[in-house]
């Protein structure tokens, strides 16, 4: 089968199109014929091996997984003997091992039926970014109807879902983004949009019950300044957190939280099948729509990773197979 292969860490140029044998499903695994794969910051980190902490799980000197990609949408080709929820021919979406290929393996608890209202390209844009947004709002954020919620990085992959989901939860949403993404963020349901190239929201008079910080580069003291008393700050990204762990601000927030009036929380989200089913209901109800702004064929997956690594992607980027 055709697949994108990675033998070492580095920039997008380390990725190449090649031929390998298709994987065989184990007793608890599903073999998916891939139709589309999502590209997110996690793929970038695993490609570059940065921050260095990712290598503890992915391989110290070189990636153990030779095929990158995690978010997948496709058709079940075969299922292991212990798999009861899926059968050949089922259309599914979720997370897997090696999505940048013609076939990939997934655990059945990491998959869900693909929403009938979505194309495969749209479905592949959901599993990682949308579940991250959902978990951030539900668990550490505990967003309630009527609350004032601010989302940084609102025009990106996770941010575009966070804005829509916060709106669906009944919050009054303010999105922070660049000039080129303002119209998109407004169309997703943000009642207020702040262009960070023109103003710093941490200098403004507004106060927020919950801040979901996805852009990840502002000091904690500045973010806390615009929280209501007892408000919640959720750090959802590791960007700008240092070359070694990528979690510098997260560590500081965890240590500081017991000593301040604000709730400082760190999101560690792993996609689950239950989250995917909840998202599918919201998608079918028209409350959430994947925003796919660029697609690349499998052979151009390195270009897709390079574009996402640039940090300026609007919505989601998808590789088609």
Which domains does the chain carry?
A: 2-126+290-320 (3.90.180.10), 133-266 (3.40.50.720)
The reply to whether the predicted model has a pTM over 0.75 is: yes
Mean pLDDT across the stretch 266-281? 88
DSSP state of 198: T
Instruction: List, for residues 124-148, the tens digit of each pLDDT value.
Output: 999 999 999 999 999 999 999 999 9
Identify the pLDDT of residue 239.
56
Whether 237 has a pLDDT exceeding 80, the answer reads no
Burial category of 138 from C-beta neighbours within 10 Å (exposed 0-12, middle 13-18, buried 19 and up): middle
Identify the pLDDT of residue 1.
97
Instruction: List, for residues 23-39, the tens digit of each pLDDT value.
Output: 999 999 999 999 999 99
Mean pLDDT across the stretch 288-308? 97
Instruction: List, for residues 261-270, the tens digit of each pLDDT value.
Output: 999 999 877 7
Q: How confident is the model at residue 227 (pLDDT cuts 50, 70, 90)?
A: very high
Q: How confident is the model at residue 301 (pLDDT cuts 50, 70, 90)?
A: very high
Instruction: List, for residues 41-88, the tens digit of each pLDDT value.
Output: 999 999 999 888 889 888 989 999 999 999 999 999 999 999 999 999
Q: How confident is the model at residue 299 (pLDDT cuts 50, 70, 90)?
A: very high
Q: How confident is the model at residue 294 (pLDDT cuts 50, 70, 90)?
A: very high
Least confident window among 59-63, 150-154, 164-168, 171-175: 59-63
Whether 6 has a pLDDT exceeding 80, the answer reads yes
Average pLDDT for the chain? 94
Mean pLDDT across the stretch 178-198? 97
Query: What is d(CA 85, CA 28) in angstroms, rounded to the nearest whole number?
Result: 11
As a whole number of Å, the CA-based R_g of the chain is 19
Mean pLDDT across the stretch 235-244? 66
Query: What is d(CA 87, CA 124) in angstroms, rounded to the nearest whole number?
Result: 19
DSSP state of 235: E
| 254 token code pair | 């965890």
Identify the pLDDT of residue 238.
57
Identify the pLDDT of residue 246.
63
> Cβ distance 201 to 150 under 8 Å?
yes
Identify the pLDDT of residue 240.
53
Query: What is d(CA 53, CA 79) in angstroms, rounded to the nearest whole number?
Result: 34
Identify the pLDDT of residue 311.
85
Identify the pLDDT of residue 159.
97
Least confident window among 113-122, 203-212, 250-259: 250-259
**Helices 127-138 and 157-168 sit at what angle, rounded to 10 degrees?**
50
């Amino acid at each position: 089968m055709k697949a994108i292969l990675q033998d070492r860490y580095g920039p997008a140029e380390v990725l190449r199109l090649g031929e390998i044998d298709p994987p065989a499903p184990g007793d608890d695994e599903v073999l998916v014929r891939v139709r589309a794969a999502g590209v997110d910051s996690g793929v970038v980190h695993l490609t570059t091996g940065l921050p260095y902490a990712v290598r503890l799980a992915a391989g110290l000197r070189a990636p153990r997984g030779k095929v990158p990609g995690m978010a997948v949408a496709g058709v079940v080709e075969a299922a292991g003997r212990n798999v009861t929820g899926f059968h050949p021919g089922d259309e599914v979406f979720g997370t897997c091992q090696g999505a940048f290929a013609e076939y990939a393996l997934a655990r059945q608890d990491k998959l869900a039926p693909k929403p009938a209202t979505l194309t495969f390209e749209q479905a592949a844009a959901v599993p990682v970014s949308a579940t991250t947004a959902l978990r951030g709002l539900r668990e550490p954020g505990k967003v309630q109807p009527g609350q004032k919620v601010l989302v940084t990085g609102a025009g990106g992959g996770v941010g575009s879902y966070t804005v829509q989901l916060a709106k669906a939860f009944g919050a009054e949403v303010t999105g922070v983004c660049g000039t080129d993404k303002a119209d998109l963020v407004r169309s997703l349901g943000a009642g207020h949009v702040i262009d960070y190239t023109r103003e710093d929201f941490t200098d403004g008079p507004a106060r927020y019950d919950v801040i979901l910080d996805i852009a990840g580069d502002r000091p904690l003291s500045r973010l806390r300044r615009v929280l209501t008393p007892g408000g919640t700050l959720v750090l959802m990204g590791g960007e700008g957190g240092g070359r070694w762990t990528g979690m510098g601000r997260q560590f500081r927030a965890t240590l500081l939280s017991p000593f301040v009036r604000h709730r400082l929380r760190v999101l560690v989200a792993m996609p689950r099948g239950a989250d995917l089913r909840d998202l599918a209901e919201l998608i079918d109800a028209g409350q959430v729509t994947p925003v796919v702004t660029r697609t690349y064929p499998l052979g151009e997956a390195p270009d897709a990773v390079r574009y996402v690594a640039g940090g300026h992607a609007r919505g989601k980027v998808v590789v088609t197979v």
